[in-house]
Amino acid sequence: MASRTKIYIVMELVTGGELFDKIASRGRLKEDDARKYFQQLINAVDYCHSRGVYHRDLKPENLLLDANGTLKVSDFGLSALSQQVREDGLLHTTCGTPNYVAPEVINNKGYDGAKADLWSCGVILFVLMAGYLPFEDSNLMALYKKIYKADFSCPSWFSTSAKKLIKKILDPNPNSVCSSVHWYHVTLFHRSLYLRD
């Protein structure tokens, strides 16, 4: 909506708070609850990618919950559009929250926005199920080294299928990661996490 001198933006009122607050107050989530939020996140990110939008700052603080507990992606301030992809087919702006950023973003050689978002989704899934970050260090360079090597381990309470999924998503080699978030949703999550170990 707009007038001659003003632009009005109408947004949905989301009253459930941040997903971060839910994790901070309750700790780790049950695998079924984590799966529910991850599925909603993957669907939202897949939709954004299908429209040529790469978020580039996915984290629990930017995931809101409505009154029914439905996840909403927010804060597109660092997002990139497909028109920003350079001639080499990659994005080149280093941005994002350090603990959630993909190794190829840190590398400063260009990155696929979809794969970078997928990495962040993998970190979020880990946080939902563990209650803490997979990559943590007070020294930024040491943190980046851990991310670049994918130096993390899954807690013992993760199911075998959840461990496999997270390790597949948090592969530090972007060439071995599928850029389609929908593929991870359908191929791995539906098929494997419904199985009990």
Instruction: Give tens-digit pLDDT for 41-91.
Output: 999 999 999 999 999 999 999 999 999 999 999 999 999 999 999 999 999
pLDDT digits (tens, 9 = 90+) for 95-145: 999 999 999 999 989 999 999 999 999 999 999 999 999 999 999 999 999
Question: Does residue 3 sit within a domain?
Answer: no
Question: Does residue 197 sit within a domain?
Answer: no
Question: Does residue 113 sit within a domain?
Answer: yes
CA 78 – CA 96 distance, rounded (Å): 7
Coil/strand/helix, residue 162: helix
Q: Which residues pair with 64 in a beta bridge?
A: 18, 72
- List 21, 46, 57, 117, catalytic entry: 57
CA 162 – CA 126 distance, rounded (Å): 9
> Contact at 8 Å (CB) between 129 and 31?
yes
Contacts of 97 (CB under 8 A, 6+ apart): 57, 59
| More confidently predicted of 4 and 97 | 97
**Residue 117 designated active-site:** no
CA 23 – CA 34 distance, rounded (Å): 10
For 27-70, where are the alpha helices, taking DSSP H only? 31-50
Does position 155 have pLDDT exceeding 50, yes or no? yes
Q: Which letter does DSSP use for residue 29 in this model?
A: P
Number of structural domains the chain divides into: 1
Instruction: Count Cβ atoms below 10 Å from residue 78 Cβ, excluding itself.
Output: 15
CATH number for the domain including 112?
A: 1.10.510.10
- What is the residue range of 185's domain? 19-192
Q: Would you say how long the chain is, in residues?
A: 197
| More confidently predicted of 3 and 37 | 37
Give the residue from 52, 188, 51 showing the smallest Cα distance to 113.
Answer: 52
